[in-house]
Amino acid sequence: MPKIPYLRDKAMQMFPELIETPVSPVRTVQIEKTENGKLRIFEDRAYFLREMSSEDELILDFGDHQTGYLTLELATSGRHPDAPAWIELQFAENPREFFEKVSEYKGWISSAWIQTEQLHVDVFPTSLSLPRRYAFRYVKLRAINISQNYKLIVKDARVRAVSSADDSRLLPYVTGDARTARLDRLAVRTLHECMQKVFEDGPKRDRRLWLGDLRMEALANYESYRQNDLVKLCLYLFASDVTDRGQVAANIFVEPEIEADFALMFDYSLFFISTLLEYYRQSQDRECLEDLYETAMRQLELAAELKGKDGIIGDLSPMGICFVDWNLELDKAASAQGIYLYCLKDAIELARSFGDEKRAEALEEEYNELTVVSRDYFMDPKTSVFVSGEKQQISWASQCWLILGGAVDAKEGAHILERLKAMDADKVSGMVSPYMRHVYVDALIACGQMDDALGALKEYWGAMADEGADTYWELFNPENPHESPYGGTIVNSYCHAWSCAPTYFLRKYYRDDL
């Protein structure tokens, strides 16, 4: 991919310092699965500092989600160790991870994401510092084999937790409602953990910068930490390594050096426009707008090439896939059209902000025609909701995106969403990720359905909180809380910043000091 040295050099100057915080375990616990499948976690004081033999286990609880580096102080009792201690460490964001068998995972993304290590320790006492960064609340140490001549003792454990989020800058959230306060708190923690050198999608997996995730993390950040320079860095990173045709990648690696991934996504590339626009609204950073404006407009041009004579986006493949959600059954044609409209609308404002009035007018003309065309094309006269693809699939995603794109006005949009709620759930293709739920809440708000939007936040994110979450998950389908598109939940991320929606929406629209 062509690298743009000028933008890359600017980006290199912008990486933040990580703030390090020492964290100790708050207790040791035992975790049991009860008959109804729920977990029971209880403190076990006697457990810590206990002398461990082969097959013994110790679970340390660090009190909240942590992203960082673990050090264990190990000692022994009994005779001089006559063989190494062979131990296994497992790190869990969600205690459920302890009940999944690594050997049974046969999914399609790498099992190397599973946070587990086996180590041999030869000399005691020792301070064992693991080189890898982990994301977890619980750490389980299992003694695989300890010679009968001695016992292993964990004398101390500590974590060097890292994040670029500065808690002293966190804006207050004013609410008298304990439930929304809690929903916000978990979202802020999620964001905090994902704010590293860049906005990572999740500190367990994929530990990197994805554009669709960045859009939502930036929105949550403007209402909470307001560390806008981190958004700026991420925008420069995307713009600094684009394809030959000028398309921004779906995600970027930053180590050992900046390099765009080969994966391309139609929707993620278009969201570069919306993310830049929102950054500009927040910061009025003219230099950034001047540096990145053409990159943003290029995404729209590339997408416009995919439109047929009828104005409908056809074969998407020149720009990669259209992601929308982790619903593998979803027909994405209607969503793609809605996303194009949504970003076209943002491109008009971006062009005006830049002072490119001629372009803004041309885009506005296109937008006004296309909203009508899109409504006519995707609206099913029989059911009065949007349908997508040859099979005329009805989905939440299609409705939400065409509403957000402006294919219908707020009043009609509200009716469409009402109609969908009244439909048989098995006739409607559902939402799988918190990423898509964010879009749903956004659509409700766009239609003026403020109570329903708040209800959706409380119900969906509240259900994760009720499941014991410390941070919000990458995937959550209330119908099937433990499903995974990867072929196994053990690789799911349980701290994923595309699910920070409560912080963004609650602080923006539902606060007592408005």
Under the rule (CB under 6 A), what is the footprint of ligand RAM? 201-202, 206, 210, 212-213, 323, 498
For ligand RAM, give the closer residue by CB, 147 or 493.
Answer: 493
For ligand RAM, give the closer residue by CB, 225 or 498.
Answer: 498
For ligand RAM, give the closer residue by CB, 201 or 346.
Answer: 201
Least distance CB 213 / ligand RAM (angstroms): 5
Cα angle for residues 266, 272, 275 (degrees, 5° grid)? 135
Least distance CB 433 / ligand RAM (angstroms): 8
What is the Cα–Cα distance from 379 to 9, expressed in whole angstroms?
48
CA distances 342 to 206, 411, 488, Å, are 27, 18, 34
For ligand RAM, give the closer residue by CB, 234 or 348.
Answer: 234
For ligand RAM, give the closer residue by CB, 88 or 261.
Answer: 261
Whether 141 and 154 have beta carbons less than 8 Å apart is answered as yes
Least distance CB 221 / ligand RAM (angstroms): 16
For ligand RAM, give the closer residue by CB, 194 or 347.
Answer: 194
Q: How does DSSP classify residue 138?
A: E
CA distances 440 to 285, 346, 399, 449, Å, are 30, 19, 9, 11
Least distance CB 473 / ligand RAM (angstroms): 11
For ligand RAM, give the closer residue by CB, 62 or 271.
Answer: 271
CA distances 246 to 208, 258, 269, 313, 360, Å, are 21, 16, 10, 19, 21
Least distance CB 204 / ligand RAM (angstroms): 10
> Could you check whether the bond before residue 125 is cis, i.e. omega within 30 degrees of 0?
yes
Whether 341 and 402 have beta carbons less than 8 Å apart is answered as yes
Place of tokens 């409602």: 177
Least distance CB 506 / ligand RAM (angstroms): 22
For residue 158, which amino acid is it? R
CA distances 177 to 59, 181, 215, 278, 468, Å, are 34, 6, 28, 29, 19
Least distance CB 253 / ligand RAM (angstroms): 13
Coil, helix or strand at residue 398: helix
Nearest to 441 by CA among 494, 493, 509: 509
- SS3 of 139-152: EEEEEEECCCCEEE
What is the Cα–Cα distance from 263 to 206, expressed in whole angstroms?
13
For ligand RAM, give the closer residue by CB, 212 or 462.
Answer: 212
For ligand RAM, give the closer residue by CB, 173 or 323.
Answer: 323
For ligand RAM, give the closer residue by CB, 28 or 395.
Answer: 395
Least distance CB 210 / ligand RAM (angstroms): 4
Coil, helix or strand at residue 88: strand
Least distance CB 305 / ligand RAM (angstroms): 23
Least distance CB 386 / ligand RAM (angstroms): 23
| Cα pseudo-dihedral 463, 465, 469, 474, rounded to 10 | 50
